[in-house]
Amino acid sequence: MSDAIDRATQLLTMTQRLVGLIEVEIEALKARRVLGTSTDWEEKERLVHAWRIEVSKVKADPGLIGGIPDRLKADLRTAAKALEDGLEAHALALMATKTVTEGLVRSIANEIASSRSAPAAYGRSGAVNASANREASGLAVNAKA
């Protein structure tokens, strides 16, 4: 029984810590501090790996946490729901950041393309074809910009 309570308590602690880390990432994304999402990366990676293994064990053998107090069961359910909600909010925040970033890159590329034009070229008749709509030269974007 003590082992089941210890296991459930550790699972609860891991889940709550993951929720906290995800909330910090969401706030960093909302504040447009994308680099702020990479803090505590090693801890998140270790926690997610350990959490996944532990949840797999419990799913395979529910008796591992069988007989734990009802309050601990409720806390585990609440933490699992908070983790699920946090992951959903995190995905939405990432999608919003991606959409904004792609829109900015597209706008910058369009602006550059409209301000630059390729040099005038000779047409089929041998005359300078200055009125044709010409594409701008290539554009390279630094991913860290």
Asked if the structure places residue 145 within a domain, the reply is no
pLDDT for residue 91: 93
How many domains is the chain built from? 1
In the numeric block, the tokens 């390279």 are attached to: 140
Asked if the structure places residue 12 within a domain, the reply is yes
Asked if the structure places residue 141 within a domain, the reply is no
pLDDT for residue 111: 80
Asked if residues 83 and 106 have their Cβ atoms less than 8 Å apart, the reply is no
111's enclosing H/E stretch is: helix 70-115
The total of other beta-carbon atoms located within 10 Å of residue 104's CB is 11
Q: List the chain residues with pLDDT less than 70.
A: 1, 36-37, 116-120, 122, 129-145
pLDDT for residue 109: 82
Asked if the structure places residue 144 within a domain, the reply is no
Polymer length in residues for the chain: 145
pLDDT tens per residue across span 63-90: 999 899 999 999 999 999 999 999 999 9
- pTM recorded for the entire structure: 0.69
Asked if the structure places residue 91 within a domain, the reply is yes
Asked if the structure places residue 17 within a domain, the reply is yes
Asked if the structure places residue 79 within a domain, the reply is yes
Range of the domain at 48: 2-115
pLDDT for residue 104: 87
Asked if the structure places residue 143 within a domain, the reply is no
